[in-house]
Amino acid sequence: MPPSPKYYAKYETRRRDPNPRAAALLVIDVQGHFASLAAPAMPAIARTVALCRAAGMPVIYTRHVDPVPRRAPLDEWWPGDRIDAGTPAAELLPGAGRRAPGDLVVEKSTYSAFHGTGMEEALRGAGVEEVVVVGVMTNLCCETTARDAFVRGFRVFFSADATATVSRDLHEATLANLAYGFAYIVDCNRLEAALGKAAN
């Protein structure tokens, strides 16, 4: 979901390029349940996956699956809105970049992709120090994962054009908040330039 031109610019006081030798791409919840929400960002998601894979970065996909019974407070916020294992809603969308045999797929049951999933251990084991976050929803699972990565000591890069949510104001609020204190904001063009520079 492309933001309004430089909406978050006044909060973007820090700039940095990701280091592909120390970074991983996290593709958050690009699955059937969110297909319509993800649609505007799918070309940018696929492009980001291709750029990061070409730079040698590991790509990790997450998918949200609700346990039975679903624990509070998620059940209070989203009553009746479940994602059950084994249904099309839980399956990753084919347009979310080309999958490779070594890609890790992490199953999660709350907003953060780190909570109870073992993903931090997998990243540490691979020597990852930085994460690039793309996917849906910008202001829920993507933002919570980005904030959680930051407090766990990872350097965070967050995509402005390869994330999407239900409205522009929620999308832009996340970008402003993360730019202010949690993440370096990137987009496909900025990533392409940065990763190309790192390869030279």
Residues annotated as catalytic (active site), given as ranges: 141
CA distances from residue 32 to 10, 94, 128, 179 in whole angstroms, order as listed: 35, 10, 28, 29
C-alpha neighbours within 13 Å on the C-beta side of residue 134: 34
Contacts for 121 with CB less than 8 Å, ≥ 6 apart: none
Give the total residue count for the chain.
200
Q: What is the CA radius of gyration of the chain?
A: 16
User: Are residues 87 and 50 in contact, defined by beta-carbon separation less than 8 angstroms?
Assistant: no
Partners of 165 in beta bridges:
none
- Cα–Cα distance measured from residue 184 to residue 122, given in angstroms and rounded to the nearest whole number: 23
Burial 60-86 (b: 16+ CB within 10 A, else e): bbbbbbbeeebeeebeeeeeeebbeee
